[in-house]
Amino acid sequence: MSSTPSQPPTSQANWELDRVVAELRAVREKWRESQQRARDAGGRELPSRETLGRIVEALRGVMFPMRLGPSDLRQQSEDFYVGFTLDSALNALLGQVRLELRHAGRQSPAPDQALEARAVTIVRDFAATLPSIRALLDTDVEAAFRGDPAARSVDEVLLCYPGIVAIINHRIAHELYLRELPLLARIVAELAHAETGIDIHPGARIGHSFFIDHGTGVVIGETAVIGDRVRIYQAVTLGAKRFEQDETGALQKGQPRHPVVEDDVVIYAGATILGRITIGKDSTIGGNVWVTRSVKPGSHVSQASSRSQTPD
Amino acid sequence: MSSTPSQPPTSQANWELDRVVAELRAVREKWRESQQRARDAGGRELPSRETLGRIVEALRGVMFPMRLGPSDLRQQSEDFYVGFTLDSALNALLGQVRLELRHAGRQSPAPDQALEARAVTIVRDFAATLPSIRALLDTDVEAAFRGDPAARSVDEVLLCYPGIVAIINHRIAHELYLRELPLLARIVAELAHAETGIDIHPGARIGHSFFIDHGTGVVIGETAVIGDRVRIYQAVTLGAKRFEQDETGALQKGQPRHPVVEDDVVIYAGATILGRITIGKDSTIGGNVWVTRSVKPGSHVSQASSRSQTPD
Amino acid sequence: MSSTPSQPPTSQANWELDRVVAELRAVREKWRESQQRARDAGGRELPSRETLGRIVEALRGVMFPMRLGPSDLRQQSEDFYVGFTLDSALNALLGQVRLELRHAGRQSPAPDQALEARAVTIVRDFAATLPSIRALLDTDVEAAFRGDPAARSVDEVLLCYPGIVAIINHRIAHELYLRELPLLARIVAELAHAETGIDIHPGARIGHSFFIDHGTGVVIGETAVIGDRVRIYQAVTLGAKRFEQDETGALQKGQPRHPVVEDDVVIYAGATILGRITIGKDSTIGGNVWVTRSVKPGSHVSQASSRSQTPD
Amino acid sequence: MSSTPSQPPTSQANWELDRVVAELRAVREKWRESQQRARDAGGRELPSRETLGRIVEALRGVMFPMRLGPSDLRQQSEDFYVGFTLDSALNALLGQVRLELRHAGRQSPAPDQALEARAVTIVRDFAATLPSIRALLDTDVEAAFRGDPAARSVDEVLLCYPGIVAIINHRIAHELYLRELPLLARIVAELAHAETGIDIHPGARIGHSFFIDHGTGVVIGETAVIGDRVRIYQAVTLGAKRFEQDETGALQKGQPRHPVVEDDVVIYAGATILGRITIGKDSTIGGNVWVTRSVKPGSHVSQASSRSQTPD
Amino acid sequence: MSSTPSQPPTSQANWELDRVVAELRAVREKWRESQQRARDAGGRELPSRETLGRIVEALRGVMFPMRLGPSDLRQQSEDFYVGFTLDSALNALLGQVRLELRHAGRQSPAPDQALEARAVTIVRDFAATLPSIRALLDTDVEAAFRGDPAARSVDEVLLCYPGIVAIINHRIAHELYLRELPLLARIVAELAHAETGIDIHPGARIGHSFFIDHGTGVVIGETAVIGDRVRIYQAVTLGAKRFEQDETGALQKGQPRHPVVEDDVVIYAGATILGRITIGKDSTIGGNVWVTRSVKPGSHVSQASSRSQTPD
Amino acid sequence: MSSTPSQPPTSQANWELDRVVAELRAVREKWRESQQRARDAGGRELPSRETLGRIVEALRGVMFPMRLGPSDLRQQSEDFYVGFTLDSALNALLGQVRLELRHAGRQSPAPDQALEARAVTIVRDFAATLPSIRALLDTDVEAAFRGDPAARSVDEVLLCYPGIVAIINHRIAHELYLRELPLLARIVAELAHAETGIDIHPGARIGHSFFIDHGTGVVIGETAVIGDRVRIYQAVTLGAKRFEQDETGALQKGQPRHPVVEDDVVIYAGATILGRITIGKDSTIGGNVWVTRSVKPGSHVSQASSRSQTPD
């Protein structure tokens, strides 16, 4: 209950609202002209971060009902909960898919019915992949449990580990990305990025039993390819080698430009791996190292040691 | 609907509340004495993080109504929305400004009317800068779109990129900082830090077309100066060289102690740049490098390579 | 007020719900078999992240009522607020403690009354430590104020600094960890990790006057021991040296495997310190360095310089 | 913070969910058959009481911004608030109008475009009447102020009097009724009925300066016609004379069957006036009387007195 | 966004909290003594009006999913929604049942296990009656549609009519009443009373096809018995004849003391029917009449006419 | 999760917002002129129904903590809860008191400090009466329990009976009324009116052990005086005899014009008692009777019987 002021707080205050509003309109119009946007569009054309957040939360519950669903759920009603929540989430997703398809096609709009049919097909196909996504995520949870000496149970892993949040969102986002919904996919990825500090582009292809420990600062690029049973620590970058791209004058979008990491590789904290190189199977990349060339299978890469000035 | 327990859950439980409450009071009083705080103050004197969060969210909508405003907004009522939301946000900001001014002046309190007049002037001046802040932010959005090969549209940038969240908050926070509201400014900056992992001190001066990609772990210090068209990647630090300062015995506040980064510089992930040095125009600083001396215009700075132990 | 669609949005849509629900059930059952989970369990057995979030928020208000409590609180009613909020938070905590104890003992369940008595004792003992936690946190706030030239007041530190959020949660989580509630402790730690990017394992032992500046990317491991007046910057890792452990074939849980950092040490941004080594009193570890051997008291460790390609 | 039970509250509980769900489905299907409802319809076809509640609340603010709008509104931004809120409310109303039109026409569905055009026209016309509704309501507020010796200001009337809530909703509902939206109109009327106990059918035609005091139990029927400056007290019924209708065997809908009340009539508490009769101008109807025949202008109608048994 | 005051609003204010708190405690203790309440009870022992409100809302959705369930529900997922919501509502109800049973038995407490078994049985039996409750309610909806010339569809009836809200709650409350949960039953009844002004005691027995029109002010007593196809209008009382009971000196609880209304009776607005009398089949009771003796089948009871003073 | 439309729902819709907004402004300005309101006032000057609703809810909890306070409250922390909630409620009330005082004095404004001092005094005095209000309410609860054969416990009475809600609000509102805060008092009374259908003017003076059963439609006027142990049923009116007042041409405000009801009177449902008459001690007023003359102590007043047309 907020108390109320003892004198009219704003009676003298004059913000010159009309002027500021007019100037803000002028800036908007200038921007729209520069972007060649039509002025007479109706409502907002863009997907909603909040709505996607709720959809992802519902899908987490759908896939892990007793652990990420409502706290009063019982096994007796799991299927009821899953079916109801899934339908609601898919209908909401359908709305977001329509928005992205329409936005993407606004230069050459398709007939409404064609767009609607495509949206429905996308959502149905997406729904059909959820069981296999859950199965993949089970391998990730087990990998985390086996890979972290501090983990005491698989439940702790699912409830606590930011790496699990990131991979749940990624596996959802990747399916959206494959269905040509890059904007929805990106929003789902950024929701995990904001929560965990782990930034996985939805385009990245990641095998089973993937584990990111701690995770803050991890960046995985759009065209990265990661094998099975790979383990990554905080602040690892799987990025593009930008220098060369800068010199071409124009950025080439969509080209393979991020690393390929083969099965059973471990990459320690702070390592930076750049460009379309391959880290061979079973290799170990040490902390803080900088790798810009391919590494053979079974390699150990580590950093030169630091200088120590002892006080005598 | 939470279920209720099958037996009085806490009937035997005795937390010795009176004792704990008394001990907590004793600790508070000891602290207040050590800080020479008056004991008879009335209500809370400090600004509110939650209120500032709502103000910033409203200002985002005011500056980008169709993309960050309410989802049912239409262009026909944009100005209505902008004017109403702006007035509400400015009045709430006025309340927060009063709190900081009164808190700052609690050793030598000004007359209420003088403080009120100053608060109103500050908010009015702040409001007048919003159109130019929006114009600057448009250059940032375009820089992000041009600078990231994965970006598909300016809308994706504005909706998804954490670097955009960080720079929106920074440009607002910097205006508050310039108006001698360091606490409000800092709270606005920390709101972005918590959401994005990007930590820009509100004192930093940043030119137009600024782009931070990925962003987690970026730290930019209070007296840093950044030119136009600068691009920065995750985990970059523009910090102070602390060793020397430690040896003076006392920290000198407000002295220029962070880098100057000139126009068109690119700084790759993990680079650490410390002290009042200058990174010359058009330079490129490679990933993970450690720079403590000025760099001439057009320089390329990169790191020594790592040792690789291939399995022979 | 969301508008409603102009045609039945989903009438043709058929998500084949029954099939997807059945497949999701099959995956769950497979997982439960692999984990040897009983199928007939009743409700959810796991603690709740949301509930713990509310408990921690209440405890922050209990310990710092005028600064982190409700904004309309006055000193006259501080004790009333503290007593009421504390009782409510402890009762809620009791519920969570029961859940973890029951979950931990599900292989060899204790009688209900024994479990209840143990839960009550744990919560009462935890409550009794709150005054000393507050006293410790006061030293941390003062350390932050003295350690950061940009800090203008202790109030700014408490309201804004992510390092303070992290250490408040850690000191709470550590008490839970000591009382054999590793899951609750971990959830409290991860709440701070998500908000600040600072990842302190609740097992870490940390002395008074501890200060983490900026903080994003800091990782402190389970068996780390940190002395008094230690200062740490962003992206510092106090981790385990994993290579050796990998070669034993099985991870040994609970063994001392993280660094000991003695009193008055400063560790700059990005430094990585691995294994059960000791950083001697009064030492300074430079930014981005990699340390895997013990360092004598009073040492200064810094990194080799980078290569600069100046444009001749 | 709700505490959690000390033992699994529901583990033995088996609600036989599958059986109950199946039986409920059977009852639904029986009902749908009896109502000849199609089984394959998609989503819900009906308007929403909650959405209409929000629309009406917004329209109250639009018409009385400084008294029923947001508490932080200032006169400087009244028009901004009105324009923004009005647009949002009208768009939401458009959605509800579509739902009712489609529901009403589900036997002989119109083409989508025709329905859409009609919905848009209805909402635009409705919007155009809002200024005259506000002007009428001003006469009602003044009538209440003049008619109640306990009223101290017009502001008290607008903030407190249930009769004002009822007449605001009625004047909105009546406009919807006139535009062939009987379901939306009825919901708006029932929202006021639930809040005030005053039940005015949206079809009733009511002149200016209308005042209902206290109001609980007032019922005004669909075809009632009320003149200017009429005053009514609690528990007054302007109803239909049902006996005759019952004997026809079938209820004739839409026929004039409720009273006509001419200008300047006062009707005291509990009076019941039934059938298509006329209460002449300037008449006064006493409390609790029962009137089923027309009354000449200027009449005073009162009840026979009660029997008193005094104690000797 | 509420603005903050321009001066500490309450610094001089001293509410003498300690004194008022102590006096309030003294009054509570005096009350508890007078009621012979134990002072050392733990938590609250009473059911919660809010929780029961949510349970009833859920059960409305369970029984009428497409009309009173969530607005985005589709027929495809009706059963999922019904099963999930039902389980959640029953578990919450179980918690409330436990509270009432324990409260009722606090003088002679049963063993926990016996109480738990009884609570589970009650809830299971209650669940089993829901399909027949829905079937009964369908007859009520049809009766309302047939009985009101203003009703345009059964959907309008279910969405809008307060009499339907009242009878839904009554049929639920009556089942609780029959299972010796008078407190839960009464709360459910009062929820409808507050919303509709219709006050039906949960003990009343009511046949099928029951219709209350308008409804405000209707009161139906605990031992009333109502046949099939009965229609009642606003402000009708089916009450006890209190005079005789007063003279016995003590109120006899549970005795039949309210009217029996046989099949096909119509009772018009404001009629008062008192005592254990019988209104015979097919009778019509006119508006505002006062009946304290039994009425034969087929009777018409009406009121003496009022005196009219026409102006000459 | 609301789904999104399949086509831009409002692109053709043009509400002519500018015109409607301008016309609404014109109506507002006309009203303000007619009311001689200043046009340049700042923010809203009126108390808030929502805020008062929260204050009253808090005060109910303060007076009955274990029954109307938070559900997780325990007796151990009752005083903490009471003190904290009371302080918060009183501070919020102080804000509302300021608003009414300023509004009341807007023709001849007092200096801010005088108004503030008066507001603080009023709130302090109001707080001091709370213990005696609670004691009075205990007599009301007991009267309800004794007076209703259907009541099973005092807890049921406090949780369920609308008459208790009404008298709690009345006893609070009456204290505000006595302190010359008629607007706040009226809002508190109307909150109960909306919830219960019981309309007690805050000016009415009511003795101890007062019980209203069922209550819908009860109206008690501003100058009514009610003794101890009075019992009233639904739809009873204690009103003014308006005919005479109408003939004076102007309404005289504040004159005694409602009945005096002496101790131990019972008034049955639907009775109407009008004018400054006295109902003598121990009298019983029968249902539906109409009383406009004083009644001696010990009287029984009842209604003439109805005409019955039996079918033969």
pLDDT tens figures, F200-229: 999 999 999 999 999 999 999 999 999 999
- From chain C, the residues in CB contact with F95 under 8 A are none
CA nearest to B224, candidates B240, B245, B204, B253? B204
Q: How far is C91 from chain D (nearest CA, A)?
A: 6
Question: What ipTM was estimated for this complex?
Answer: 0.89
F84 close to C81: Cβ distance less than 8 angstroms: yes
F82 close to E24: Cβ distance less than 8 angstroms: yes
pLDDT at B200 over 80: yes
Q: Residue A241 phi/psi, 5° resolution?
A: -85, 100
Of E23, E27, E301, the CB nearest to F306: E301
Residue F6 or residue B288, greater confidence? B288
pLDDT tens figures, C273-287: 999 999 999 999 988
F86 close to F69: Cβ distance less than 8 angstroms: no
D199 close to D91: Cβ distance less than 8 angstroms: no
What pLDDT does D44 receive? 59
Cα(B284)–Cα(D176) distance, rounded to whole angstroms? 67
pLDDT tens figures, A123-179: 999 999 999 999 999 999 999 999 888 888 898 899 999 999 999 999 999 999 999
Of A12, A43, A237, the CB nearest to B269: A237
- From chain B, the residues in CB contact with D5 under 8 A are 3-7, 9
Long-range pairs for D192-196: beta carbons < 8 A, 24 or more residues apart: D192/D165, D192/D166, D192/D168, D193/D166, D193/E162, D193/E216, D194/E162, D194/E195, D194/E196, D195/D162, D195/D165, D195/F194, D196/D162, D196/D163, D196/D165, D196/D166, D196/F194
Cα(B168)–Cα(B189) distance, rounded to whole angstroms? 10
Give yes or no for F71 touching D (CB within 8 A): yes
pLDDT tens figures, A185-215: 999 999 999 999 999 999 999 999 999 999 9
Cα(A211)–Cα(B234) distance, rounded to whole angstroms? 21
Give yes or no for E95 touching B (CB within 8 A): yes
F212 close to F200: Cβ distance less than 8 angstroms: no
Q: What is the largest CA-CA distance in chain E?
A: 80
pLDDT at D90 over 90: yes
Indicate the pLDDT class of residue A5, thresholds 50, 70 and 90. Answer: very low
pLDDT tens figures, D191-214: 999 999 999 999 999 999 999 999
- From chain D, the residues in CB contact with C122 under 8 A are none
* CB pair distance less than 8 Å for B92 and E10: no
- From chain D, the residues in CB contact with E3 under 8 A are 72
What pLDDT does D269 receive? 92
Most confidently predicted of A198-202, C8-12, E41-45, F76-80: A198-202
Sign of CA dihedral A21, A23, A27, A29: positive
The whole-number average pLDDT for the span C199-208 is 98
The whole-number average pLDDT for the span D47-61 is 96
The whole-number average pLDDT for the span A67-85 is 92
User: Which residue is listed with tokens 């196809």?
Assistant: E229
B113 close to E7: Cβ distance less than 8 angstroms: no
> Tens-of-pLDDT digits for all 312 residues of chain F?
544 333 444 445 788 899 999 999 999 999 989 887 654 455 557 899 999 999 999 999 999 999 999 988 988 899 999 999 999 999 999 999 999 999 888 767 677 789 999 999 999 999 999 999 999 999 999 999 998 888 888 988 999 999 999 999 999 999 999 999 999 999 999 999 999 999 999 999 999 999 999 999 999 999 999 999 999 999 999 999 864 444 545 556 678 999 999 999 999 999 999 999 999 999 999 888 889 999 999 999 986 554 444 444
Q: What is the largest CA-CA distance in chain C?
A: 80
| Chain C nearest-CA residue for D87 | C1
The whole-number average pLDDT for the span C87-98 is 95
**What is the interface size between A and B, counted as CB pairs within 8 Å?**
199
SS (H, E, C) C270-309: CCEEECCCEECCCCEECCCCEECCCECCCCEEECCCCEEE
> Which chains share 3+ C-beta pairs under 8 angstroms with F?
A, B, C, D, E
Give yes or no for B139 touching D (CB within 8 A): no
Q: How many CB atoms lie within 10 A of CB C259?
A: 29
Residues 151-210 of B with CB under 8 A from D: none
Give yes or no for E114 touching F (CB within 8 A): no
* CB pair distance less than 8 Å for A13 and B123: yes
pLDDT tens figures, D221-249: 999 999 999 999 999 999 998 644 444 45
Indicate the pLDDT class of residue C44, thresholds 50, 70 and 90. Answer: low
C125 close to C179: Cβ distance less than 8 angstroms: yes
What pLDDT does C242 receive? 62
Indicate the pLDDT class of residue E46, thresholds 50, 70 and 90. Answer: confident
> Which chains share 3+ C-beta pairs under 8 angstroms with D?
A, B, C, E, F
The whole-number average pLDDT for the span A239-247 is 63
CA nearest to C238, candidates C192, C295, C154? C295
By DSSP bridging, strand B278-279 and strand B300-302 are unpaired
Give yes or no for A94 touching E (CB within 8 A): no
> Which chains share 3+ C-beta pairs under 8 angstroms with B?
A, C, D, E, F
Give yes or no for D97 touching C (CB within 8 A): no
Secondary structure of residue C103 in the 3-state scheme:
helix
- From chain D, the residues in CB contact with C115 under 8 A are 6
**Cβ neighbours of residue F33 closer than 8 Å, sequence gap 6 or more:** none
Q: Residue C295 phi/psi, 5° resolution?
A: -125, 135
Q: How far is F20 from chain D (nearest CA, A)?
A: 6
Percent of chain B whose predicted confidence (pLDDT) is above 70:
85
* CB pair distance less than 8 Å for E88 and A72: yes
C-alpha distances out from residue C64 to A1, B26, B27, C73, C137, Å: 20, 12, 10, 11, 10
Token representation of residue D189 = 């009327």
What pLDDT does B306 receive? 47
CA nearest to C189, candidates C206, C172, C207? C172
User: Which residue is listed with tokens 């009083």?
Assistant: B29
* CB pair distance less than 8 Å for F10 and B80: no
pLDDT at C17 over 60: yes
C287 close to C281: Cβ distance less than 8 angstroms: no
Token representation of residue C132 = 């000393």
A203 close to A258: Cβ distance less than 8 angstroms: no
Can you list the domains of chain D with their CATH numbers? 46-197 (1.10.3130.10), 204-312 (2.160.10.10)
Secondary structure of residue B173 in the 3-state scheme:
helix
What pLDDT does C93 receive? 97
pLDDT tens figures, E28-39: 999 989 887 654
Cα(C98)–Cα(B7) distance, rounded to whole angstroms? 13
Least confident of B31-40, B176-185, D244-253: D244-253
- From chain E, the residues in CB contact with B6 under 8 A are 98, 112, 116
Q: How far is E288 from chain D (nearest CA, A)?
A: 8
* CB pair distance less than 8 Å for F112 and A8: no
| Chain F nearest-CA residue for A110 | F7
The crossing angle, in degrees rounded to 10, of helices F78-104 and F112-147 is: 120
Of C9, C21, C290, the CB nearest to A288: C290
Residue E11 or residue A21, greater confidence? A21
Of A10, A17, A46, the CB nearest to B155: A46
**What is the interface size between A and C, counted as CB pairs within 8 Å?**
198
SS (H, E, C) chain A: CCCCCCCCCCCCCCCCHHHHHHHHHHHHHHHHHHCCCCCCCCECCCCCHHHHHHHHHHHHHHHCHHHHCCCCCEHHHHHHHHHHHHHHHHHHHHHHHHHHHHHHCCCCCCCHHHHHHHHHHHHHHHHHHHHHHHHHHHHHHHHHHHHCCCCCCHHHHHHHCHHHHHHHHHHHHHHHHHCCCHHHHHHHHHHHHHHHCCEECCCCEECCCCEECCCCCCEECCCCEECCCCEECCCCEEECCHHHHHHCCCCCCCCCCCCEECCCCEECCCCEEECCCEECCCCEECCCCEECCCECCCCEEECCCCEEECCC
pLDDT at D305 over 70: no
| Chain A nearest-CA residue for D87 | A43
